[in-house]
Amino acid sequence: MSKFWLLVKQLYKQKVKAKSFIFSIVLYIAVISGVMFWSDIKEAFFQDEAMQIALVNETNAELEGLFESTSDIEFTFPNEDIADLEKQVIDGEYAAAIFVKDQENSLAAEIATFEPLTFNDQLSISSILQYAGKLYEVQQLNLTAEQAEKILQSETVISMKNLNEQSVSGKSEDEKAAGIGASFLVGFLIYSFVMTFLSMITTEVASEKGSRVLEVLLASVKPATHFMAKLTGIFLLALTQIAALLIIQGLLFMFIDGGSKWDLVMEIANELSLTYIGYAVAFLLLTIILYLILGALLGSLVSKVEEAGQAMMPAMMLGLTGFYVLISGMASPDTMLIKVFSYIPFTSGMVMPLRIGATDLAAFQPMLSMLILIGTVILLFLLSLSFYKRSVLTYSSGGIIQKIKTVLKVTT
Amino acid sequence: MTLFIDQVTKKYQDFVAVDNLSFTIEKGAIFGLIGQNGAGKTTTFRMILDLQETTEGNITWNGTHINSINRDVLGYLPEERGIFPSMTVEDQLYFFGELRGQQKKKLKKEVDYWIDRFELEDKRKAKAETLSKGNQQKVQLIASFIHKPEFLILDEPFSGLDPVNMDLLKNAILELRDNGTTILFSSHQMDNVEELCDHLCLLKRGVSLFTGSLLDLKKQYGKTKLTIRTEIPKEVLERLEGVKEIHVGKDQYTLTLINESYAQSIFDFVSNGKYIEKFSLDYLSLEEIFKDKVGGTHV
């Protein structure tokens, strides 16, 4: 086995067996499963009783049919007087009493509560009342059932026609929604992986340098071999983690709850184009490589492992910036901020997939962003390789800038 | 198989770490590189290991430039501990052996031998971070020569070792030398250098103050250290001709003579033709010569 693969094997074996690595996979699966199966978990563990709402109909119309009980809200229609009902609300028998009356052919409602309603409950009740109000008004117009149905179900058919031949064909709303959802997942994964493996490689190099084992290793292998072995070992770990996540999560989706979540994932995946998936994977892997190179370089600057946190701070800020820009684009993926950051190499991996998935953009734009990213990876690799050789055996104090100055001073 | 350092200089922007250094180490020799902290010892080692480039001069191993040789012929023990904290003793030795081109199967015999020799059998499966400082030093030392290097560099190999382990290490170094390994080492413990080295180089701020055999260095000063046990008062002894300095010990005097030719007359005076319990004329110790050369009291 060559020295390069021996170093890779040693690093990979040591890290893949580490409790922290296994724990991080479990944590990712727990978080993703928690989000995906939240409704089932909620049902199993938090079976709240439905909120009791007394509804008093003071109109002449038949309204009971408009207020259907759900698992969260149970409507009852008592015939008691207002004072008695209000007392029952105060006593906690009802969460709220709603008094509905006619006001100039429109529905007016008064909600009486003792304990304030939560924001979500208030929204749910408001939504039901708004819908009931529309139905009430339709009833007042004395329309036929078909006419009423038509008005209530009316929806404008919208289609897109793209006049720009250079641009890709317009995406449907469903495709864009799927693109936003998938992009958030891709962006979140890139951000999480980048932070995890950036920290891992910086600490790894700093630890070897701090413990002086690096000096022994470099007596046997060239710094370039060592640098490449660190990048390869940690990158293989990242691939292992991605593969483990995909396989375990996929199996969980397939076999839990009759595969309903797997169907949902497939449904979203079908809305995404192959181009999107290809770009997302390429951005994911390239961004991880970019941050690994930066992490190894920063790790080589410190004198002891305790300084690794401080050294990786600038790279973490870059990653965090990309993630915040991605979040800002969830509601509106067409802003100038999103456009600018989709070309900056350290953030494009998180931001460009959002633009590809959720906006209509010319084919050259993601291609250009990808080329800038590839160019930066190559450039940073060459620069880091040259600098690594000089910094890896230089020990100095002070901040990162001071350390860089020292390296340059003692090696030129 | 010789190491040849030829007029090597290492300059940084604002200082010279090693200045025009030259020496040769013959095959199977033990060569000592001594100097105060910051004298340039580690820089010299790093240049030999091709971890740092020379500014001027050449370093060759058996006639080949050091950056062109197969690095597996070298072994290196750095001054500070350099082992993987979470790796077991045994795995560590196999890893470093394999890294230096040995096959795992062939390493077993060596690993077992040295673990036994350094009394580490019960620590074989222990993680390095759980070992005492001395045991870590032993593991690191074995790791530096487990691949049977032709040329071994030991930077402060004795630091952190108790007298028993120090003897173990000295014997191991001599065994390696007997098996043909050429050894270059540095130490602040001059008695160890004196015991092990045939040749040495004395560095001060990157400049060689002396390079050659230990005996030649001692001969430069001559036999000027005279130790005597006598009832004669100090005031009388210090007035004797040829006495430069006198040091009063617990039950003896140590006199520094101007040169050894005065010893005979001092002997005649002190013994006065009778039995004398102690009269010993010797070379200065390496530590005394070192202090004299570098002009400091700290080694």
Cβ-based contacts of A211 with chain B (< 8 Å): 81-85
Interatomic CA distance for residues B124 and B119, integer angstroms = 10
Residue A38 lies in a domain: no
Same domain, B235 and B137: no
Interatomic CA distance for residues A338 and A347, integer angstroms = 10
Same domain, B93 and B236: no
Separation in Å, CA of B226 to nearest CA in chain A: 45
Residue A308 lies in a domain: yes
Task: Summarize pLDDT for B118-168 with one digit per residue, the tens.
Answer: 999 999 999 998 998 889 989 999 999 999 999 999 998 888 788 888 898
Query: B81 with B140: CB under 8 angstroms?
Result: yes
Same domain, A209 and A312: yes
What does the pLDDT read at residue A117? 83
Last residue of a domain, one of B159, B183, B213: B213
| Nearest beta carbon to residue A220 from set B12, B99, B140 | B99
With CB atoms and an 8 Å threshold, state whether B78 touches A212. Answer: yes
Same domain, B180 and B238: no
Cβ-based contacts of A214 with chain B (< 8 Å): 82
Separation in Å, CA of A293 to nearest CA in chain B: 21
Using the structure block, give the residue that is written with the tokens 């006419």. Answer: A147
| DSSP class of A167 | B
Res. B226: pLDDT tops 60: yes
With CB atoms and an 8 Å threshold, state whether A216 touches B96. Answer: yes
Last residue of a domain, one of B188, B213, B238: B213
Same domain, B52 and B103: yes
- Positive/negative CA dihedral, A398, A403, A407, A408: negative
Which element (helix H / strand E) includes A204?
A: helix A173-210
With CB atoms and an 8 Å threshold, state whether A221 touches B71. Answer: yes
Interatomic CA distance for residues B14 and B24, integer angstroms = 29
With CB atoms and an 8 Å threshold, state whether A211 touches B82. Answer: yes
How far from A71 is each of A44, A51, A75, B196, CA to CA, in Å?
13, 9, 11, 88
Interatomic CA distance for residues B179 and B152, integer angstroms = 12
Residue B29 lies in a domain: yes
* Nearest C-alpha neighbor of A214 from the set A85, A388, A62, A30: A388
Residue B291 lies in a domain: no
| Domain CATH for A82 | 3.40.190.10
What integer is the mean pLDDT of B230-253? 90
Same domain, B55 and B152: yes
| Domain CATH for B105 | 3.40.50.300
Count of domains for chain A: 2
Same domain, A196 and A300: yes
What does the pLDDT read at residue B48? 93
Same domain, B251 and B206: no
Same domain, A98 and A55: yes
Same domain, B62 and B205: yes
Q: What secondary structure does DSSP assign to B26-92, as a single string?
A: -TT-EEEEEESTTSSHHHHHHHHTTSS--SEEEEEETTEEGGGS-GGGEEEE-SS--S-TTSBHHHH
With CB atoms and an 8 Å threshold, state whether B99 touches A409. Answer: no
Task: Summarize pLDDT for B244-270 with one digit per residue, the tens.
Answer: 989 999 889 999 999 889 999 999 998
Same domain, B233 and B152: no
Same domain, A184 and A327: yes
Same domain, B17 and B107: yes
Same domain, A278 and A354: yes
Within chain B, how many helices (H) and strands (E) appear? 10, 14
Same domain, A130 and A236: no
Res. B94: pLDDT tops 90: yes
Cβ-based contacts of B14 with chain A (< 8 Å): 409
What does the pLDDT read at residue A101? 86
Least confident of B68-77, B187-196, B227-236: B187-196
The alpha-helical segments, DSSP class H, found in A67-118 are 82-90
Cβ-based contacts of B12 with chain A (< 8 Å): 409-410
| Nearest beta carbon to residue A219 from set B74, B95, B140 | B74
Dihedral (C-alpha) A358, A360, A365, A366: value to the nearest 10 degrees? 30
Interatomic CA distance for residues A349 and A292, integer angstroms = 14
Query: Please, how many CA atoms are within 13 Å of residue A121, restricted to the half-sphere of its CB?
Result: 17
Cβ-based contacts of A409 with chain B (< 8 Å): 12-14
What does the pLDDT read at residue B297? 46
Residue A14 lies in a domain: no
The structure tokens listed for B52 are 């740092």
With CB atoms and an 8 Å threshold, state whether B99 touches A410. Answer: no
Cβ-based contacts of A14 with chain B (< 8 Å): 84, 86-87
Report the alpha-carbon angle A303-A307-A310, nearest 5: 135
| Domain CATH for B228 | 3.30.70.330
Same domain, A236 and A367: yes
Residue B289 lies in a domain: no
Same domain, B143 and B20: yes
Query: A315 with A220: CB under 8 angstroms?
Result: no
What integer is the mean pLDDT of B46-73? 90
Residue A23 lies in a domain: no
What does the pLDDT read at residue A232? 96
With CB atoms and an 8 Å threshold, state whether B99 touches A219. Answer: no
Same domain, A223 and A130: no
* Nearest C-alpha neighbor of A198 from the set A343, A327, A349: A349
Count of domains for chain B: 2
Interatomic CA distance for residues A283 and A367, integer angstroms = 11
Same domain, A246 and A354: yes
With CB atoms and an 8 Å threshold, state whether A6 touches B100. Answer: no
ipTM of the assembly? 0.81
What does the pLDDT read at residue B298? 40
Same domain, B231 and B200: no
Q: Give the residue, B267 or B297, on which the prediction is more confident.
A: B267
Same domain, A56 and A199: no
Q: List the domain range (segments joined by +) for residue B136.
A: 3-213
With CB atoms and an 8 Å threshold, state whether B82 touches A216. Answer: yes
What does the pLDDT read at residue A411? 62
Q: List the domain range (segments joined by +) for residue A345.
A: 171-411
Same domain, B184 and B60: yes
What does the pLDDT read at residue A8? 95
Which positions of chain A have pLDDT values less than 70? Answer: 46-48, 158-175, 409-412
Residue B288 lies in a domain: no
Task: Summarize pLDDT for B265-284 with one digit per residue, the tens.
Answer: 999 998 888 888 899 999 98
Residue B290 lies in a domain: no
| DSSP class of B247 | E
Residue A364 lies in a domain: yes
CA of A220: which chain B residue's CA is closest?
B71
Same domain, A137 and A190: no
Separation in Å, CA of A286 to nearest CA in chain B: 30
What does the pLDDT read at residue A412? 59
Res. B89: pLDDT tops 90: yes
The mean of the pLDDT values for chain B is: 89
CB contacts < 8 A, A to B, total 62
